[in-house]
């Protein structure tokens, strides 16, 4: 009998907890709002990706050409005063060059033939002084870079801009909830749920420098960073007063 009494009391306690949690949870019916806030700020970082593509009859020959060429790029970056922590290897690849035999050379299908190799290595450079981006690109090309995938811009510390975007998202959430409630003739109740959602990745300005200054004597590049967008998204749930 004692065991049954204890079990019954435990079930009552659990039932009470479940009811309390149910009261505190987001209502099944309410005003659900998803908002985004955005701010535009000037970037203070530039990221440059550059590399060297070398070819050879054998894999060893392609690598033998590529290794010293990449070393010259690293020297150019260090000469520009870039810290070691802001320089990293971003690509190392060795691929065969394939030639497809012509259909007329044999009545039977033939496998592609390897007629050489391509070695491709790249570096990623973070510049904390955007004014140095143009001169560094010039120096990399002069040092032998023949594969440049672009330049992108960002922020060293995104926290302040992110908080400003969050504040805009919060202000918009309340304003929109009040708008819907007023237009639909209901009374807006308490805010019962706040969830920070993933905002759409903001577009980062990027310049295309793949074919930049491949010819000798080209004019120095002018880098214009523009502004970048930092965004935050919010999902809120509001009660509807009965």
101 vs 114: CA distance, rounded Å: 11
- pLDDT reported for residue 204: 54
- pLDDT reported for residue 220: 65
Same domain for 123 and 169: no
Residues 6+ apart with CB under 8 A from 15: none
Is residue 8 one of the residues assigned to a domain? no
148 lies in which domain range?
Answer: 45-99+114-154
Is residue 174 one of the residues assigned to a domain? yes
Same domain for 238 and 199: yes
Same domain for 167 and 124: no
- pLDDT reported for residue 2: 43
Low-confidence ranges of the chain (pLDDT < 50): 1-24, 26, 208-217
Same domain for 80 and 121: yes
Is residue 217 one of the residues assigned to a domain? no
139 vs 131: CA distance, rounded Å: 14
Is residue 95 one of the residues assigned to a domain? yes
Same domain for 178 and 90: no
- pLDDT reported for residue 34: 94
- pLDDT reported for residue 105: 55
Same domain for 141 and 65: yes
Is residue 1 one of the residues assigned to a domain? no
- pLDDT reported for residue 21: 45
What CATH number is associated with residue 240? 3.30.110.170
- pLDDT reported for residue 93: 92
Same domain for 180 and 133: no
Number of domains present in the structure of the chain: 2
Please indicate, yes or no, whether the overall pTM of this predicted structure exceeds 0.75. no
Is residue 3 one of the residues assigned to a domain? no
To 5 degrees, how large is the angle CA 11–CA 13–CA 14? 65
Same domain for 189 and 126: no
Same domain for 194 and 172: yes
Is residue 147 one of the residues assigned to a domain? yes
Tokens of 220: 């120095």
Q: From the CB of residue 126, how many other CB atoms can be counted at a distance below 10 Å?
A: 16
- pLDDT reported for residue 242: 74
Same domain for 194 and 94: no
Same domain for 60 and 148: yes
CB contact at 8 A, 142 and 218: no
Same domain for 162 and 150: no
- pLDDT reported for residue 84: 93
- Express each pLDDT in 120-173 by its tens digit: 999 999 999 999 999 999 999 999 999 988 899 999 999 999 999 999 999 999
Is residue 12 one of the residues assigned to a domain? no
What CATH number is associated with residue 81? 3.30.70.2970
């Amino acid at each position: 009998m004692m065991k049954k009494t204890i079990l019954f009391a435990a079930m009552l306690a659990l039932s009470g907890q479940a009811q309390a949690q149910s009261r505190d949870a987001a209502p099944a019916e309410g005003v659900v709002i998803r908002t985004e806030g955005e701010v535009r700020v000037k970037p203070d970082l530039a990221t440059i990706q550059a590399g060297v593509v070398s070819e050879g009859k054998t894999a060893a020959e392609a690598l033998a050409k590529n290794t010293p060429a990449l070393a010259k790029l690293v020297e150019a970056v260090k000469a520009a005063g870039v810290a070691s922590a802001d320089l990293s290897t971003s690509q190392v690849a060795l691929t065969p060059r394939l030639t497809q035999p012509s259909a007329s050379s044999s009545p039977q299908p033939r496998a592609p033939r390897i007629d050489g190799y391509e070695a491709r290595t790249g570096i990623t450079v973070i510049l904390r002084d955007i004014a140095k981006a143009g001169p560094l690109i010039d120096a990399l090309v002069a040092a032998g870079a023949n594969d440049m995938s672009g330049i992108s811009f960002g922020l060293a510390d995104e926290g302040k801009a992110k908080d400003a975007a969050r504040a805009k998202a919060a202000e918009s959430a309340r304003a929109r909830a009040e708008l819907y409630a007023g237009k639909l003739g209901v009374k807006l109740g308490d805010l019962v749920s706040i969830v920070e959602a993933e905002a759409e990745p903001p577009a980062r300005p990027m310049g295309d420098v793949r074919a930049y200054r491949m010819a000798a004597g080209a004019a120095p590049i002018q880098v214009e960073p523009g502004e970048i967008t930092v965004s935050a998204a919010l999902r809120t749930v509001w009660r509807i007063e009965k």
